[in-house]
Structure 1
Amino acid sequence: MGAPKQRLTPLAMAILELLHERPMHPYEITQIMRYRRVDYRVKLRPGSLYHTVERLDGQGFIEVVDTQRQGRRPERTVYGMTALGRDIFASQAQEMIATPADEYPEYPVALSALSELTPDEGLSRLKMRVMNLKVKIAADEVVIKQVTSDNLPPLYWIDYAYSHHQRKAELAFTQQLIADLESGRMPWPDEPERQLSIVKDENHDQAG
């Protein structure tokens, strides 16, 4: 039996993706990721990035190709991708594109808990989510307008376009959910019991 296949984390994939362009030092990688909003799809913290770079180096997927020093700043190590790194990146990219992954976003978990809230609580939070989604979608559109005006090939920011469309779909779903709840097309599970309780209370008061 062969050795188990090594699985790259999303951050490791993002680092190798950038190193396809040219060798870079970790600080430069961090700055480019923030400029390109890679942190929208990958959890990016400087400490974790440096740790991931060290792990990729130890695994033989990247290697030191240069060191740089500017003035009194600390020496910076420049890394380039190895042939092994290119192979593992290409292999995993193909697998990730072809195979839907089991992912665990928070929103479905929150929706499953919606029935445990009162109608007022649930609707107010859903409406707050709609506002937050609209803000994010507007910010997306600013970025998309910029990269479009810069004539950046769409395939270079296709991940951003996907996230944008995903947010718009979530907005449409949430707005429809609010409309269904407010109209009564989707009653709260305990709504009949709640209404019955109100009627009984009213009858009791009238009898008293």
Structure 2
Amino acid sequence: MTRSTAPLTPLAMAVLELLHERDMHPYEMTQLMRERRVDLRVKLRPGSLYHTVERLEGQGIIEVVGTQRQGRRPERTVYALTEAGRDVFVEQARAMLATPAQEYPQYPVALSAANELDQDDALAQLRTRVLALRARIAADQVIIDHRLTRHLPKMYWIEFDFTHHQRQAELAWTERLVEDLESGRIPWPDADPGPARGLSVVDSDRERNGDKAS
């Protein structure tokens, strides 16, 4: 079977990462992902992992190596990485580490839409976000402290550390935004209309510099 050259999804990468440890069936993969809180960085929906496993098998990236049965439960199919699958995993890991991806998070979209709200309403939502971020950061710290007590090598949970610091940066930025809006350092559009809507950043810069085309 020919090896797939299509980029693997984050969930597919998580599956292959587990299969580097040992052969296992999809139910065990799901349990391990939840236990290790992989679901905080990968969308793990009911049935999505099984669909991913089937697709990886069809691409020749993993293969069936046996079945397991526990008690009266149905037999579970056990999968292993193929040599081609190891190559695909390594190639994609290298590419993902080296190349910043163009991602589309919701927060910048919400910030762009914020000026359509009343200022008090927008500030109320931002304050709610601040509280939610503080709660998540505190929950992150509990998990980090637990992992530190277990003396796990940091590279085993480095992705969680990255997400934790990303949240801290977002919290600090959002707190500054709230303070700037409350103090008037950033005026609300009703008070200062600013550049006309529809102008690009380059066009706005040209207007400020008096560099408009004649």
Equivalent in the alignment of 2:165: 165
Structure-2-length-normalised TM-score = 0.87
Partner of 1:96: 96
**1:92-117 Cα shifts (integer Å, max 9, x gaps):** 00000000000000000000011111
Q: Does 2:194 match 1:190?
A: no
Superposed, 1:32-47 pairs within 5 Å as 32-47=32-47
- What residue in structure 2 maps to residue 21 of structure 1? 21
Equivalent residue runs for 1:95-174 within 5 Å: 95-174=95-174
Percent of aligned pairs with the same amino acid: 65
Give the direction of change, closer, same or farther, for the CA distance of 1:152–1:76 in structure 2 (3 Å limit): same
* Structure 2: unaligned runs, 5 residues or longer: 194-214
Aligned length: 191
- 2:176 corresponding residue in structure 1: 176
Is this contact kept in 2: 1:30–1:46, CA < 8 A?
no
CA distance in 2, matches of 1:148, 1:43: 26
How big is the shift at 1:4?
7.7
CA contact (8 A) 1:11 1:43 kept: yes
Higher Cα Rg: structure 1 or 2?
1
Code of the aligned partner of 2:177 = L
Larger proportion of helix? 1
Alignment of 1:12-91 (within 5 A): 12-91=12-91
TM-score normalized with structure 1 length: 0.89
The alignment partner of 2:23 has SS state of: coil
CA contact (8 A) 1:23 1:78 kept: yes
Contact residue 57 and residue 63 of structure 1 kept, 8 A: yes
The alignment's C-alpha RMSD in Å is 1.2
**C-alpha separation in 2, matches of 1:189 and 1:111:** 13
Deviation (angstroms), 1:7: 1.2
Unaligned runs of 5+ in 1: 194-208
Residues in 2 aligned to 1:177 and 1:71: alpha-carbon distance in whole angstroms = 57
SS at match of 2:21: coil
Runs of 4+ in 1 over 2 A off after TM superposition: none
